[in-house]
Structures are given as structure tokens and as C-alpha cells.
Structure 1
């Protein structure tokens, strides 16, 4: 699971009339997966089974065995919101150090597109899961997040696609993000097996700490639970929580795979991220005392 971030020019206030899609970019009709895709699906089924056997990929959101305090929330928020698991990406020229607070200021509108080997029944399940999760993200963050009324109205593009969709993915993403770098585009065409899924968040050129566009890839070869885990992590990361931390618990923002789905702890991180007292561009030192107040309020502790 990964997030990269970049910059592009700010989206126009009103979109020009959409052009007719080329034939190659019409919605993909399902067809059987290739041998390579089927082999990858077998590999990910084994990964999921191994994790479940070890008691990982929990879906209970935590409990008495995973207590956390307001101070834990502040620590985890700083580690997850201000640092990046990989880099801030070639488009923004960032590095591995602490960055500034980044989030969406415009409404987030989500659209889903499918690769050719995603069967209609799976498309329906994925659409239902993503819609329900988008509604949850809106509820817990307090930000305007919803499904787009049409693909042209979307600024957060979710692709459920796989090994057989390289040409479709590269062509479509180049349309959506013309400023995407070649290395980032190549990731979507040949994502390493160790990357379960991926999201690229794109900031406005004149305001590098506010996102205006995002593209996420959910591998179609994943079995159901890992597929849901990817949806939960990539969409939440794309809202502005790009890092993982070994100290965060109970959390999906931890590489230990203990939790598959967004937890109560993670909901509180999203509430903190979109609290109006915090502003895009803040440094960790500027945000920490405010985050401490917010965390204590959320945990019902005295200030």
C-alpha cells in the first residue's frame, strides 16, 4: 500500500464540455483474466490466508486489548499526517522528512472505473463497498466527500484493475493527470507485487498543501478482505494521511497488517485532520499544540 503526492495546475472552476471517449476507453466489458493475473490472484489468496491464520487483518476496530490515549493520538497524527511512507513524489520534489499538513479544501467527488477482468457481480460488490465507505469518510471527517454524479464531475478516481489492464490504465490516468511523471505512470502499468494498492494525491500548483485530484488503484486480483483493506487505506491516505507508523494501534496506518479496516482510532485521526483549527501548510511544531487540544476534546479528557 502506498501514497505518492504531486502538483498540477489548479482545476478550473467550470469544466469544458467533455469530449467523446476514444473507443479504447469505453467502459471495459468483463473477460476472463490472463494466466499471469490468475497466478497473482493465487498468490494474494495465500497472503490473505497466512495473515488470517496469524490472527491479523482484524475487522473489529480494536477493543480492550488496544487502548489508546489522547497523547497517543497526537503522536500518531503527527507521524502519519506529516511524514510520507515513501516520498512526496517527483512532481513535488519532496523527500522523506517532515512535510506540511496537506488535505482537501474542495469537495471530494469519487468515481470508480473497472478493468476488463472484473466481473459484473464483483463490480457491484466493489461499488457498494466504496459507496458505503465514502459515506463513512464524509461522516467522520466532516469534509464534503461523496460519489460523483458522473465521471466528468470526479476529482478522486478509483480504479479497480489488474495485470491485464496496463494499456487502459496508462492511457486513462494520463488523461486524468497530464502532469504525472513517467516513473509514477509506470507504477500503474507494472506495480510491484509487494505494492498491494496505490494512491497518488495531486496538489494545486499555487497551493502545494491542498489536494485537487487523486487516483487510486485497487488490484482486482485481491481476495475480498484484502480488497476491502486496500479500499479503506488508499481512500483514507488520499484524504491526507499518507504515512504508516509502527506505534499506531489500533490502526490501518501500520505495516503490521493487524487491522484490515478503518478503526475508531483512525476515525479520530481524520476528525483531527479536517478540524478547522488546523490549516494546510502547518508544520508539525505549529500543529502539535492545537492537535493536543483537539485530541483531548475527542477523548473527553480535560484540557
Structure 2
């Protein structure tokens, strides 16, 4: 299992800004307000628990597809999990911000998922090992992964020796006894945290990802950056006494209705919707080509267009069509197809806005539309778009997106001559940027990109 590619709050923004400024004044003539010093890093002090917003019948279907299939599509004959308590150790140079983030994650797993998991000393034996190492070292062996988890090993050296053997094949497990999670320690604090959440969840729980899920980190669209209420319910069910190592899909299907009614009574009162149609491999391949590494710009755009066509041909009006449009919108910016890009963002935004579960996705789309408004000389519209989504971004704990939106708002306030408000907003943004983007060079690059959206910022 691995987290692939760049984070949406980062790489996507760079593409959006490049496209939105393609027809503006000469970029070389612009002088963005890059500060000489940066404020202290801001972090999310608490987490708001949000219960899943779908019926238990829908959640049961999701559980079965998550627990009994790999991301590759290979079926799993039965469930595997750890016997509790689960011990966890950390190896390698631990980034400072990772310590409180890991402690908060383990506390949430105990409190919200009811899993008996605790950290032990680095030199102790443990069922789960999290090893930090340089990103370049990690990606020399696994170029497409930002971070990943493998079974039956406890160190990077073990992985290097056994990575081509059946030892690291999840489908051969009868039970989970040892797993190792590998995370780069030289990336932004947010990327480290995101890897901790996704990889630990899959180390101890389901191994699959589903693009149809609107409210989960078990989804390769990467909109959600921390474990959600849905995810915690899935993990609580995964470790329920009614299930266990060796449980087959048919056995789980019989148990889940009563189990979910006990764990999530609220889900019994939500109307049952019909199952979503399966996601064809052709659509997944198109999305992975569009957003993954290695493809040319023209091939990416063509793949995103193919994903939109497949989604429409499937008759989808769910998040898969919206994500196809989102991918096409962001990639079209570099092709000077701003009208097509804006139309794609607007359509994606309507789909996401129609579902209260997809507020985080709506915020991502709103950021792109706000960039169009800003570069088009409409600062009031940009501020309204941003203000309408800030609460959801904070709730989703995405500091990179929050910083980007606040920097855009600061630019809009500058355009309106509200200098004091702009300065305070920009300083607030920079505190979040320390967490979301990490290095000062990266932060200054983002400041410059967003400043370029302001058509008045020229000599």
C-alpha cells in the first residue's frame, strides 16, 4: 500500500496559478510581498469528530470492498488483522512535528476506533514499525510512492533484502504479526502527518482504496488528509469481536448488518441508497495516468479527458465524475484552455456542493475558481468564495489548502486597498504554510505564485 504522487493542496495549486496567469502582465515585472521572516508554525490543536453521513447498508458494502480486495483488484480470501494490543515503535530520525501528530493519531485510534494500540521504545520489539528516512532514499526503490507499508518486516534493510520475494505479499498472510511503514522525514509536516494517518490505517486495517468514497482517506483522490469519522467506524468494525483473522467475505456480509447497527445506530436512520456502479479499470488507469508521474503534459490532459468521457458514459453523477472534471480542469490550465478549465471546475463544484459529505472537495474547487476571479480583477468574488469554505478547510485540517486560500484572500484585500486586513491575513496564512509546505523556499515560491494572480502587481 502506498500514498502516490503530490498532495492536492500543493502541486495542483502550482498548475492552477500557472494557468490563471498565462494571459496576465509580464511575470518578470511583478514584485510579490515576500517577507524576510516567517511567523511560528501553526498546528491543529483539536479534532472535530464527524460521524459518517451514509446509511449502514452503504457502509457495509464499502467495508466488504475495502477489506476483501487489494488496490490492484486482486481479491483477498479472508480478513487479516493484528491481535491486540498493537505495539508500535518509531525508528530513524523523527521530524519534530511528527511526535505530537503521532501521539494525537494513536489517541484517536484508541478513543474513536476502540483499538488497543500503544507506542513502545525504539529498541523494543513491536508489531508495527514506522521508519523515517530521506525521501530520495525511499524513492530510489519505490519511485512512485510518497510513503508505503509492507508486511512481515520491521526495517528498511529487511525490505531491501526481501522486496522481490513473496514475503511482502499481503495476499499470503494468514494473520498480521509484523508490518513496517516507511515515511520520508524531509518533507513538510503535513505530508508526514498525512502518511502517518493513511499508512497506519492500512497497516492495521483494510488494504484497499475506493475512488467512490466521498469521506475517507481510503481513497486515492487524496482530498481527505486525516482519518475521518467514516474511517474510524470502519476500523472499529474491523477490530470488533464478531470479526477476526480468517473471516471470509460471505461471513462478514452476514455479520455486518447487526455489527454496524450496534456501532453506528445513527446509520440505521439514514435512507438506503442503491449501490454505486463498479469503477472500471479503464477509468482508474486514465486517472492514474493523468495525475501520476512520468507522462507528458499532452498525455496527462488526454487521460483526464478520457476519464471524463468514461464517467459520463457510465452515467455517473457522483464524486468520480466530479474528480474527473477536477483533474481535467487543473491539467487544462497548462494548455492555455482557461475556458474549458473553468467550465470543468464549475461543473465539479456543482456536484460536490450537492452533497454535504463533500465539503472538503468543494473547498478545493473553490480555491481554483477564486484564482480565476482574482486574476480576472474580481477581488470581492474571490473573498466571498474563500470565506465560504474556510471553516470546512479548518475542519479537514489541511494546512496547505488553508494557507493557499488565505494568501489569495490577502491578495484580494490588497487589490481593494484594505492593507491592514491584508497584512493580518497574510501573516495568519504564513503560520499555516509553515506546517503545510515546510521549507521556507517552498513557502516563498507559493507566496510568489499567488501574488502573480493580482493583475495590479506590476511595475
1:86-235 equivalence runs, <5 A: 86=72, 96-115=74-93, 123-163=95-135, 165=137, 190-192=141-143, 194-202=144-152, 208-235=173-200
Distance 1:143-1:209 versus aligned 2 partners, 3 A rule: farther
2:210 corresponds to 1:245? yes
How far, CA to CA, are the matches of 1:230 and 1:151 in structure 2? Answer: 22
Q: CA deviation at 1:50?
A: 3.5
User: TM-score scaled by structure 1?
Assistant: 0.63
Which residue is equivalent to 1:297? 262
1:165 is displaced (CA, Å) by: 4.6
Cα drift, residue 150 of structure 1: 4.3
Q: Distance in 1 between matches of 2:14 and 2:229?
A: 24
Secondary structure class of the residue paired with 1:138: helix
Matching residue of 1:275:
240
Pick the structure with more strand per residue.
1
Contact in 2 for aligned 1:198/1:217 (Cα 8 Å): yes
* Greater RCO, CA 8 A, separation 6+: 1
Give the CA deviation at 1:198: 0.4
2-side partners of 1:74 and 1:158: how far apart?
30
- Cα offset for 1:266? 0.3
Q: CA deviation at 1:274?
A: 0.4
Q: Deviations over 1:177-197 (max 9, x none)?
A: xxxxxxxxxxx75221x2111
Per the normalisation by structure 2, the TM-score is 0.43
CA distance in 2, matches of 1:80, 1:275: 16
Identify the residue that residue 228 of structure 2 maps to in structure 1: 263
Q: Which residue, 254, 258, 266 being the options, matches 2:219?
A: 254
Q: Which moved more, 1:222-231 or 1:280-289?
A: 222-231
Question: Which of 70, 73, 94 in structure 1 is aligned with 2:59?
Answer: 73
1:26-65 equivalences in 2 (<5 Å): 44=6, 48-51=9-12
- Seen in structure 2, the aligned counterparts of structure 1 residues 138 and 106 have a Cα distance that, compared at 3 Å, is same
| 2:250 paired residue number | 285
Note the residue ranges of structure 2 that are not aligned, 5 or more in a row.
17-43, 154-166, 270-459
| Root-mean-square deviation over aligned CA pairs | 3.2
Provide, for residues 106-136 of structure 1, a one-character-per-residue CA deviation record: whole Å limited to 9, x for no partner.
Answer: 4211111224xx6xxxx22112211221222
Give the greater-gyration-radius structure (CA): 2
Measured in 2, the distance between the counterparts of 1:290 and 1:281 equals: 14
Alignment correspondent of 2:2: 2
Residues 53/139 of structure 1: CA separation in 2 closer, same or farther (3 Å cut): farther
Task: Tell me, in whole angstroms, the C-alpha distance in 1 between the residues paired with 2:105 and 2:147.
Answer: 17
Provide runs of 4+ in structure 1 moved above 4 Å: 51-55, 59-64
In the aligned structure 2, how far is the partner of 1:138 from the partner of 1:258? 24
- Runs (5+) with no aligned partner, structure 1: 4-42, 88-95, 167-187
